[in-house]
Chain A
Amino acid sequence: NAGVTQTPKFRVLKTGQSMTLLCAQDMNHEYMYWYRQDPGMGLRLIHYSVGEGTTAKGEVPDGYNVSRLKKQNFLLGLESAAPSQTSVYFCASRDNEQFFGPGTRLTVL
């Protein structure tokens, strides 16, 4: 039982490049979330999903897109990366409490 996994763990992008962060969970959870964490800002919700094929916007959705084609996967896309998107990104899934992945450290130059 791997829990929640994220790939990649680290990434450096140039402004304007695109990338996709992958989150996978093997706990059969319906709910999945993408957060970003910045110093002094805490965890802020980007997008979330309440089940396969559904997505919804969180607090800070601009500049990001998501897809939940399979129940176990939740993808976060950056179409045109900006320096303001430099952050640590956490994926989570839940039944009652949330289980977090190890995080992806993204730097946009």
Chain B
Amino acid sequence: GQNIDQPTEMTATEGAIVQINCTYQTSGFNGLFWYQQHAGEAPTFLSYNVLDGLEEKGRFSSFLSRSKGYSYLLLKELQMKDSASYLCAVRDSSSGGYQKVTFGTGTKLQVIP
């Protein structure tokens, strides 16, 4: 099985930088995803890490350490529209060859002026 932990809520100021952490435990790690979900909408893909290190995509970056079971999502130059929930998800290949994706409960980020 999998266990994914991330903070429930965070608050940050417009223009600042915020880091959202995610820790996980899995027996067949096959990739980690970050999704953004605005209230009342579907999740949308932000980033994917399968190897250790930092992946940068514009204002968003995601880091992975497989040995530590740890990832973070870094948001720079925060904008009000970044207020949303950020979901960490882990793909696992240990279930009879099927690849399942399990989501954390999400971190609700509030950006304030």
Residue positions of A touching B, CB distance < 8 A: 31, 33, 35, 40-45, 48, 50, 56, 58-59, 90, 94, 96-103
Contacts and interface: CB of A to CB of B under 8 A. Distances in A.
Given A42-B103, A43-B89, A102-B42, 20 more contacts: A35-B103, A40-B105, A41-B105, A42-B87, A42-B104, A42-B105, A43-B87, A48-B98, A50-B99, A94-B101, A96-B48, A98-B33, A98-B43, A98-B45, A98-B101, A99-B45, A100-B42, A100-B43, A100-B44, A103-B42
B87 to A, nearest CB: 7
A33 B99 CA distance: 11
Interface residues of B, number: 21
B26 interface: no
Q: Closest 7 A-B residue pairs measured CB to CB?
A: A42-B105, A100-B42, A43-B103, A97-B45, A42-B103, A100-B43, A42-B106
